[in-house]
Amino acid sequence: MENMLQHSTCQNFGTDCKELIAMLKDPQDWPSFATELERIETLQICFPDFSIIHVPRARNQISDFLAKTARSFHRELLFIGCSIPVWLPRPPQV
């Protein structure tokens, strides 16, 4: 979210993590994540059109592939764009 603010404040987010959606909906039910949820809440204020939806993993294969590939770099990797960078391997065809 912090990186997105550098590019645009009108953002919609999607995640395949149902728990994250539940945390944002009822943060008081997740006291062990209070620090993280407070930071997310602070960032939400910066997005006038903030929304986040659950996207089932089966419908989110490219994003899932990109996240897994980025983790394989074993260092911080930030990329914001509308297409897959040419330097990343292509996801397997479904």
Q: What is the pLDDT along the chain (94 residues), one digit of tens a residue?
A: 777 777 777 678 888 889 999 999 999 999 999 999 999 999 888 888 888 889 888 887 877 787 777 777 766 656 566 566 666 666 666 5
pLDDT digits (tens, 9 = 90+) for 18-31: 999 999 999 999 99
pLDDT attached to residue 12: 80
pLDDT attached to residue 81: 62
Pull the structure tokens for residue 16: 């395949």
pLDDT attached to residue 84: 61
Given a contact cutoff of 8 angstroms between Cβ atoms, the answer to whether 25 and 44 are in contact is no
Domain locations in the chain as residue ranges: 2-55, 57-94
Give whole-number Cα distances, 63 to 21, 60, 77, in Å. 17, 6, 14
